[in-house]
A and B are shown apart, each in its own frame.
Chain A
Amino acid sequence: MNWKTTATAMGLALLASTSLARADGELNIYNWGNYTSPDVIKKFEAKYNIKVTITDYDSNDTALAKVRQGGTGFDIAVPSQTYVPIWIKEGLVLETDPGKMENFKNVAPEWANPDFDPGRKYSVPWALGTVGVVVNTDAYKGPADSWGIIFNTPDELKGKVNVVPEMNDVIFAAIKYVGGQQCTTDKEVLKKVRDTLVAAKPNWIAMEYNTIEKMGAGDFKATSDWNGSALRQRLANPAIHYNYPKEGFGLWSDNVVVLKEAKNVENAKLFQNFIMDPENAAGLSAFHRYANAITGSDKYMPADMKDAPEVVIPAADKPHAELQQMCAPEIQEIYTKIWTELQK
Chain B
Amino acid sequence: MATAEEVAKAAERRDIRDRWLLSAPALLIIFLAATGPLLIVLVYSFLTPGSYGDVKWQFSPEAWIAVFLERDIFDDTLSVAAAHVTIFLRSIKLAVVTTIATLALGFPTAYFMATRSEKTRDLWLFLITIPFWTNLLIRTFAVLQIIRNEGIINTILLKLGIISSPIQILYTDTAILIGMAYVYLPLMVLPIYASMEKLDFRLVEAGYDLYATRFKVLRKIIFPLVKPGVIAGSILVFIPALGAYVTPSVLGGGKNMMLSNLIELQFGQGRNWPLGSALSIAVMIIVMVALLAYVRNAGKSGVRHG
> A337–B268 contact, CB under 8 A?
no
Q: Are B73 and A65 in contact (CB under 8 A)?
A: no
User: Given that A187-B73, A343-B255 are known contacts, is A64 also in contact with B83, CB under 8 Å in the complex?
Assistant: no
B261 located at the interface, meaning its Cβ lies under 8 Å from any Cβ of chain A in the complex: yes
B181 to chain A, nearest CB (A): 21
The docked-state distance in angstroms from the alpha carbon of A334 to that of B170 is 32
Knowing A61-B53, A329-B52 touch, does A208 contact B253 (C-beta < 8 A)?
A: yes
A336 to B52, CA, bound (A): 13
Query: Do B148 and A219 have beta carbons less than 8 Å apart?
Result: yes
Determine whether the beta carbon of A343 is less than 8 Å from that of B257.
yes
Shortest Cβ distance from A210 into B: residue? B250
**A4 adjacent to chain B (CB < 8 Å):** no
CB distance from B161 to the nearest CB of A (A): 20
Contacts between the two chains (Cβ within 8 Å), count: 92
Q: B262: which of A191, A194, A340 is its contact (CB, 8 Å)?
A: A340
Is A24 in the interface zone, CB < 8 Å from B? no
User: Quick check: is B171 within 8 A (CB to CB) of the other chain?
Assistant: yes
Using a CB-CB cutoff of 8 Å, which residues 325-344 of chain A contact chain B? 329, 332-334, 336-341, 343-344
Q: Cβ of B41 < 8 Å from any Cβ of A?
A: no
Interface contact A168-B269, CB-CB below 8 Å: yes
- Complex CA gap A76/B269 in Å reads 22
Is B121's beta carbon under 8 Å from chain A? no
Of the listed stretches A32-40, A102-110, A199-207, A265-273, chain B binds A199-207
Taken together as a complex, chains A and B put the C-alpha atoms of A206 and B148 apart, in Å, by 13
How many A residues have CB within 8 A of the partner chain? 39
Residues of B within 8 A of A208 (CB): 253-254
- Given A191-B74, A205-B253: A59 touches B268 (CB 8 Å cut-off): yes
Q: A343 near B261 (CB under 8 angstroms)?
A: yes
The number of chain B residues with a CB under 8 A from chain A is 33
Q: What is the CA–CA distance of A206 and B82 in the complex, to the nearest angstrom? A: 22
CB distance from A326 to the nearest CB of B (A): 8
- Chain A residues whose C-beta falls within 8 Å of the C-beta of B139 in the assembled complex: none
Q: Is the CB of B150 within 8 A of A344?
A: no
Q: Are B52 and A344 in contact (CB under 8 A)?
A: no
- A336 CA to B63 CA, complexed, in Å: 14
Task: Decide yes or no whether A217 CB sits under 8 A from chain B.
Answer: yes
CB-based contact B265/A336 at 8 Å: yes
Tell me whether B257 and A344 are in contact (CB under 8 A).
Answer: yes
Q: For residue A206, which residues in chain B have a CB less than 8 angstroms away from its CB?
A: 171, 253-255
Q: List 14 A-B contacts (CB under 8 A).
A: A61-B271, A64-B52, A187-B73, A190-B74, A205-B253, A206-B171, A217-B149, A336-B265, A336-B266, A336-B269, A339-B265, A340-B262, A340-B270, A343-B256
Residues on B lying within 8 angstroms of A by beta carbon are 51-54, 70, 73-74, 82-84, 86-87, 148-150, 168, 170-171, 253-257, 261-262, 265-272
